[in-house]
Amino acid sequence: MSHCESCGKENPNTDDGYTTCCNELVCDGRQDSKFHHEESNEYVFACCWVKADTEWENKYGHFAPNGSCKV
């Protein structure tokens, strides 16, 4: 697989298995992880950071705050 199904962006250098869009292992959109910001106690579930930002914006009206982490 040479693209991230979460955002559809392609990485021409797929030898390392990473995409340029989410800097995660190539994502098939099927496995969700929790993305959390401890200070605000905001969280979303998504398959990669690109999707997490989209989910964060939909749920809270802004992108993931600085200091957010994947747990």
pLDDT digits (tens, 9 = 90+) for 26-45: 565 566 889 999 999 999 99
What's the CA gap between 41 and 27, in Å, rounded?
A: 26
* Ordered alpha helix ranges (H), 1-71: 49-60
Domain ranges of the chain: 30-70
Check: CB of residue 46 under 8 Å from CB of residue 34: no
Average of per-residue pLDDT across 5-32: 56
Confidence category of residue 16, pLDDT binned at 50, 70, 90: low
Helix, strand, coil % (nearest 5) of the chain? Answer: 20, 25, 55
pTM: 0.63
Check: CB of residue 40 under 8 Å from CB of residue 32: no
